[in-house]
Amino acid sequence: MYNQTSTILFMLFIQILFGSVRRCEIVDSNDQSNTISDSDSILTDSIFLNDVETSTVETNFTTNSTTAIATNITKLTTETNAISNEVIWEYWGPRGEQHWQKSFKSCGGKSQSPINIETDRIVYLPDLQLYFINYDRPLYKMRLTNTGHTVKLEASEQTGKRYQWFISGNALFDQTYRFVELHFHWRNAHSAGSEHAINGEKFSMEMHIVHQNLKYERENNSETVFKSSDAFTVIAVFFNENDIHNPAMDPIIEQLANIEEIHNSTIVNEPIRLETLMPKPENWNRFYRYSGSYTTPGCQEVVTWIIFPDPLSIDAKQVNRFRELINHIVHTDHNGKYLSSVKEFIGFYRHIQELGTRRIYAPESMQTSSTISRIMFLNSWIQSFSYILLSIAFHHLFIVY
């Protein structure tokens, strides 16, 4: 009798368990209050802030408060630069990524980026949305810089009073983030240099569009910002090398010859519209979201990552212009010593990190019909199996009595 009652209770437990899985997943998503990214100087938009055109966006900033923010951010930038100048890191050699953790403790954390996205482990959520504000508006006279770790595009002294770019939406927990800069990751010839991977597949290049949470723009303490899990959002866009020329990349690529050496920078004269550097707007509801870190030291775990899975095209001639920069940068170390022995293995990207206990989320609309049918088949199979066991248990119960 005891065994039969236990069997019935066990079966009821199974029913309750499977019935609650979906609710658990949704509840779980609410603790993903993290945000973004990796960049070499994420707090460098003081010029941006001086030029903020408040009338174009729904923010409550006054001119005075904006000036105050700009002052604080400038101070932060100075502090950040001071820190970054103290400890040098590289992607290869004795200061390569396997050694980052010695100088930057967070690089050994449990929520690091980039990761491999396994699409059969995605948690799909209903009504997960992103909003892009002003991404169709051009910005002029952007500054392109060779930082030694990437090529970065940001506002310049000449950018002037222009529209601002923002992202928001419940996918970002209804926080609003301001565009700060964008930069690229790539590898040497004929190899995939993206940081993230999807089902183990890497792409030729990866672009990161870095955004900072508006609510931290008033912060004058970089320590606070870098301990806030919702401080940054980074959008990742993949590029696949093929025969299709990407004209939207030309304004940037045409200037690469002017920044061949580390710390060179130049002004991009042609206007840049962010939406042209992203998948088509009708695909902006196709993204993966997870909580991670900067992919460069100090690897702070303060980034909400938005990964667009649909790669843009870039032709070989274009991507090779980026690869040529490697030859200028990695042939020597900081003492001018020749480093040809590692040339074949390097690129400007970090290797894949463990996902650990984190989950990756996506809008429910991305769930393919095959995925749905597979889950429905599994669910119906589990239910049938449960009912059979339940029937057997009842059968034994009534036979005995």
List of residues contacting Zn ion (CB under 5 A): 38, 208
Q: Which is nearer to Zn ion, 191 or 365 (CB)?
A: 191
Q: How far is the CB of 198 from Zn ion (least distance, A)?
A: 17
CA dihedral 332, 338, 344, 347 (to 10 degrees): -10
Q: Which residue has the tokens 């499977």?
A: 18
Q: How far is the CB of 207 from Zn ion (least distance, A)?
A: 8
Burial class (CB in 10 A: 0-12, 13-18, 19+), 198: middle
* Region of residue 93 (phi > 0: left; psi between -120 and 50: alpha; otherwise: beta): left
**Shortest Cβ contact with Zn ion: which residue?**
208
Residue 124 tokens read as 């799909």
Contact 330, 308 (CB under 8 A): no
Dist. CA 135–CA 152, nearest whole Å: 18
User: What residue type is assigned to position 24 of the chain?
Assistant: C
Dist. CA 79–CA 390, nearest whole Å: 65
Most distant pair of Cα atoms in the chain: their distance: 90
Q: How far is the CB of 42 from Zn ion (least distance, A)?
A: 10
Q: Which is nearer to Zn ion, 38 or 217 (CB)?
A: 38
Q: How far is the CB of 336 from Zn ion (least distance, A)?
A: 27
Q: Which is nearer to Zn ion, 187 or 208 (CB)?
A: 208
Cis preceding linkage at 114, omega within 30: yes
Q: Which is nearer to Zn ion, 128 or 326 (CB)?
A: 326
Strand partners, 139: 272
Residue 133 tokens read as 């504000």
Q: How far is the CB of 40 from Zn ion (least distance, A)?
A: 8
Dist. CA 86–CA 76, nearest whole Å: 16
Q: How far is the CB of 78 from Zn ion (least distance, A)?
A: 22
Q: Which is nearer to Zn ion, 165 or 305 (CB)?
A: 305
Q: Which is nearer to Zn ion, 69 or 252 (CB)?
A: 252
Q: How far is the CB of 180 from Zn ion (least distance, A)?
A: 12
Q: Which residue has the tokens 């002004």?
A: 267
Contacts of residue 341, Cβ cutoff 8 Å, sequence gap at least 6:
none
The one-character DSSP state at 110 is: S
Cis preceding linkage at 298, omega within 30: yes
Dist. CA 196–CA 352, nearest whole Å: 7
Q: Which is nearer to Zn ion, 277 or 393 (CB)?
A: 277
Dist. CA 50–CA 72, nearest whole Å: 11
Q: Which is nearer to Zn ion, 11 or 330 (CB)?
A: 330
Contacts of residue 332, Cβ cutoff 8 Å, sequence gap at least 6:
338, 339
Q: Which is nearer to Zn ion, 84 or 386 (CB)?
A: 84
Q: Which is nearer to Zn ion, 232 or 361 (CB)?
A: 232
Q: Which residue has the tokens 């723009």?
A: 217
Q: How far is the CB of 147 from Zn ion (least distance, A)?
A: 11
Q: Which is nearer to Zn ion, 95 or 208 (CB)?
A: 208
Q: How far is the CB of 91 from Zn ion (least distance, A)?
A: 12
Contact 352, 197 (CB under 8 A): yes
Q: Which residue has the tokens 């993949």?
A: 238
Q: How far is the CB of 319 from Zn ion (least distance, A)?
A: 17
Q: How far is the CB of 292 from Zn ion (least distance, A)?
A: 11
